[in-house]
Structure 1
Amino acid sequence: MRHLTCTFIFGTLLSASSVIIAQQPPSIVHAQLSTASASNGLEPQLERMKHTDAPTWVGYSIPVAEDFHSGSQSDHIAYLEGDHAGDSYNTIDKENTPFDHAVVLLRIASGHIENIRLENPDRQLDAGGLHFLWLNGVAPTDSIHTLQTIALKDDSNHLRDTAIFAISLHQSPETIPALISLTSPNNDLALREKAAFWLTNRHGHEGFAAIQHLARTDTDPKFREKLCFDLTLSKDSGALNELIRMAHSDTSPQVRKQAQFWMANIGGKKVAGDLRDLAENDPDNAVRKSAVFALSRLPGNEAATQLIQVASSSKEPSIRKQAVFWLGQSNDPRALDYLTKLLAQ
C-alpha cells in the first residue's frame, strides 16, 4: 500500500510538473519581455495589447490533441520579424521530436491581430526588438474561442487558415464542436472547406462522423464535392464506404464523379465492381464516362483488367469507346494485345 501511495504521489507530482513546464515561456531573445496571467480570460489581455502604440507579440502554450512538430528541427531559431531567409540558423542535430503542447503566437498591431504563428516549445524565438508578452494560464476553451472569432471575422486567407489549423491542434472537448460550427452553411465556402479538412485530418472517428453527416445533409454540392477528398484523409474504416455511397447516390453528378475518382485512389480492387456498375448504370452519361476514367486509376494490373472487361461487355458504344481510349494510355501489355486484336477484327 505504501508503494502504491508513493507511486501515486510521484505520478501526481510528475503530471503537475509537466503542466508547469508547459506553461513556461520558450527561450525568447531580442524582446522587451513581460509575463502576465490569463486566469481572468485571454480576451481581456489581448484587448489591452490592442491599445498599445507599438506592435506586440503575445504568446501562450496549449496542450495538443496529437503529437505536434512545426517545421524543420534544424531551424532552432524562429525569427518573428523581418526577412531572415539568408541568415545562418543555429542548427541542432537531433531527431524530429514531437511535442504534447505547442506555442501559439499572435502579432498585434494597429489595434488588431494581424498574424498567427505556431511553434515548437523548444524553439528559440527572436522577437526583433518588439514587446513580447507571455501569458500563463490560458484555458484551451479561451484560446479556441479567440481563434474561432479570428477565423469568422478576418478577411485574410492566411490568418483565417492558420486560426482554423490552430483550433484543430487543441486537446479540448471544445475542439470538434468549434470546427463543426465553422462548417456551417452560413460561412463562406473556403472557410467551410478548411474546417472540414482539419476535422478529418486530425480527429479520428469523431471527425469522420461529422464529415459523414455533412456529406449526407449539406445542400451545397460544391462543398460536398470537396468532402470527397477530405474522406481520403480519414483513417476511419467507414470512409471508403461513404465515398462509395456518394458515388452511387449523391444528387449532384459532379459530386458522384469526384467520389468515383477518390474511391479508385484509396479503394483499389475493392471498388472495381462498383465502378463498373456506375459506368454502366449511372443516369448521367458524363458520370458513366467518368467511372471509366476512375477504372483507369486503379493500381497495378487491375486497371487494364477492368477496362478490358468494360470494353468487351458494355452495352453502350460511348462507354466501350472510353474504355478503349484509356486502354490506349496504359502500359500494361494486355492492353496492347487487346487493342491489336480489336483492330484486327
Structure 2
Amino acid sequence: MLSKVRILAAIIILAATTAFAQQPQFLHAQLTTASADHGLNAELDSLRREAAPLWVGYNIPVAQKTFSDRYPRIDYLEADHPTYKEEDATSSSETSYDHAVLLFRIANHTIEKIRVENPNRQIDAGNLRVFWLSNIAPGDSIATLKALALSNDEKKLRDNAVFAISIHRSPETLPTLIGLAAPANPLDLREKAAFWVANQHSHEGFAALQNFARKDTDAAFREKIAFDLNVSNDPDAVKELIRMAHQDASPQVRRQAQFWMATKGGKVVAGDLRDLAENDPDTQVRKSAVFALSRLPQPEATTQLIQVAGTSKDPAVRKQAVFWLGQSHDPRALDYLTRLLQQ
C-alpha cells in the first residue's frame, strides 16, 4: 500500500513539474530554447550584446495567479496587433494557474520591457527572435527583477519589475518587497513595493507596514501606508489605522488614515472618528473626520452626523456635518435639517 502511495505522489510531482516546465506556444517567432545552467543574469548579459531586438522568456511559479479568458487566445508582444473590444469576448471566465510566463524585451543592449503573460495563451512575437529559458530558479528571477527595479529610472519598467516579483511563489518574495520599500529607495518605488507587500496578505507583511507607519520619517510615504493598511487583511490593520488617525504627527497622514479606517472599519470606528472630529488640534483634520463619518455604512453615518451637527463646539465641524447630512438619502437627515431650518 505504501509503495502505491509513493508512486502516486511521484506521478503528481512529475505532472506539476511537467506543467511548470512547459513552454507556451509562440507564433511568428524565431524560437531558440536553452537551459540557463549559468544563471539568469549570465544569459541576459549575453543576449544584451545582440544587435537586433529580441524577447527572453521563462516560467515562474506563482501562488494561483488568475488570468482572464474573456478574449481570443493570442497575446501580441509587438505593437502591430488588433485591439479587442467588448463584443470580441468569447467568455466571461477566469482561470487560476500555478505558473506564469515572464518575458523581457531586449533592445539597444538593455531590457526595455517586462511582461507577465497567461501560460495558456498563444504568444505572437511579431517575427522577432525569442529565447526560451529553462531551469530558472525563482530566487534567481527575483534577484534579477530587484536589480532592474533599483537600477532603472523608467517608471513603467520599474513598476512591472516590482509586480513580477510580487507574484513569485517563493520565500524570497516578501523580504525582497520589504527591502524595496526601504527609505534608501525613491519614493515611487517604495510606494509600489509597499502596495504589493500589503497584497501578500501575511502577518509578516502587515508587521512591515506597521513598522513603516510608526517609524518612517517621510509623511508622503506614510500617507500611502494608510491605503496599504486598508488593503491588508490582517485583523490588526484597522487598529493601526486608528492609531495613525489619532497619533501621526502629520495632519495629512491623519486625514488619510481617517478616510481609510472609515472605509475598512465601518461602525467599529465610528466612536474614534467622532472623537477626532471633536478633539483633533487641526481644523482640517476635524473637518475630514466628519467626511469620514459620512462614508460609514447607513444608518450609522446619519446617526453620527446628526450627533456631531448637534453637539460639536466647532462651527466649522457643525457646518461640515450639516453639509454631509444634506447629501444623505436617509429620511432622518431630512427631518433633522427641516427642524434646523425652523429654529
TM-score, structure 2 normalization: 0.95
Aligned-residue offset at 1:316: 2.4
Would you say 1:76 and 2:73 are equivalent positions? yes
Q: How does 1:16-35 map to 2 (within 5 A)?
A: 16-35=14-33
1:41-84 deviations in Å (ceiling 9; x for gaps):
100000111011111111001111x2113344433111111221
CA contact (8 A) 2:67 2:95 kept: no
1:245-293 deviations in Å (ceiling 9; x for gaps):
1101111110000000111111111111000111111111211111111
TM-align CA RMSD: 1.8
Would you say 1:162 and 2:160 are equivalent positions? yes
Aligned-residue offset at 1:173: 1.1
Q: Structure 2: any 5+ residue segments left out of the alignment? A: none
Select between 325-334 and 127-136 the one with higher mean Cα deviation.
Answer: 325-334
- The DSSP-based 3-state class of the residue aligned with 1:246 is helix
Cα distance between partner residues in 2 of 1:87 and 1:331 = 40
CA contact (8 A) 1:67 1:98 kept: yes
Q: Structure 1: any 5+ residue segments left out of the alignment? A: none
- The DSSP-based 3-state class of the residue aligned with 1:132 is strand
Aligned-residue offset at 1:315: 2.4
Would you say 1:186 and 2:190 are equivalent positions? no
Select between 334-343 and 102-111 the one with higher mean Cα deviation.
Answer: 334-343
User: Partner of 1:6 in structure 2?
Assistant: 4
User: Partner of 1:266 in structure 2?
Assistant: 264
- The DSSP-based 3-state class of the residue aligned with 2:11 is helix
Pick aligned residue for 2:233 from 232, 235, 242: 235
User: Partner of 1:252 in structure 2?
Assistant: 250
Change beyond 3 A, Cα 1:205–1:335: same
Select between 121-130 and 5-14 the one with higher mean Cα deviation.
Answer: 5-14
User: Partner of 2:288 in structure 1?
Assistant: 290
User: Partner of 2:279 in structure 1?
Assistant: 281
CA contact (8 A) 1:70 1:118 kept: no
Cα distance between partner residues in 2 of 1:293 and 1:94 = 37
State the AA in 1 paired with 2:57. Answer: G
CA contact (8 A) 1:76 1:92 kept: no
Aligned-residue offset at 1:145: 0.8
1:284-324 deviations in Å (ceiling 9; x for gaps):
12111111111111111211110111111122232222212
1:74-109 deviations in Å (ceiling 9; x for gaps):
331111112213479998658422100111001111
Cα distance between partner residues in 2 of 1:144 and 1:297 = 40
Aligned-residue offset at 1:326: 1.7
User: Partner of 1:209 in structure 2?
Assistant: 207
Change beyond 3 A, Cα 1:92–1:325: closer
Change beyond 3 A, Cα 1:196–1:124: same
- The DSSP-based 3-state class of the residue aligned with 2:113 is strand
Cα distance between partner residues in 1 of 2:179 and 2:54 = 30
State the AA in 1 paired with 2:276. Answer: L
CA contact (8 A) 1:30 1:126 kept: yes
Change beyond 3 A, Cα 1:91–1:302: closer
Equivalent pairs counted in the alignment come to 342
Cα distance between partner residues in 1 of 2:166 and 2:83 = 32
CA contact (8 A) 2:68 2:95 kept: no
User: Partner of 1:67 in structure 2?
Assistant: 64
User: Partner of 1:121 in structure 2?
Assistant: 119
State the AA in 1 paired with 2:240. Answer: E
- The DSSP-based 3-state class of the residue aligned with 1:160 is helix
User: Partner of 1:219 in structure 2?
Assistant: 217
Cα distance between partner residues in 1 of 2:51 and 2:6 = 50
- The DSSP-based 3-state class of the residue aligned with 2:166 is helix
State the AA in 1 paired with 2:113. Answer: N
Cα distance between partner residues in 2 of 1:307 and 1:209 = 34
User: Partner of 2:305 in structure 1?
Assistant: 307
Aligned-residue offset at 1:132: 0.6
Would you say 1:143 and 2:124 are equivalent positions? no
Cα distance between partner residues in 1 of 2:268 and 2:170 = 37
Change beyond 3 A, Cα 1:290–1:52: same
- The DSSP-based 3-state class of the residue aligned with 1:121 is coil
Cα distance between partner residues in 2 of 1:139 and 1:69 = 22
Cα distance between partner residues in 2 of 1:87 and 1:269 = 43
* Percent pairwise identity: 59
Cα distance between partner residues in 1 of 2:44 and 2:9 = 35
TM-score, structure 1 normalization: 0.95
State the AA in 2 paired with 1:316. Answer: D
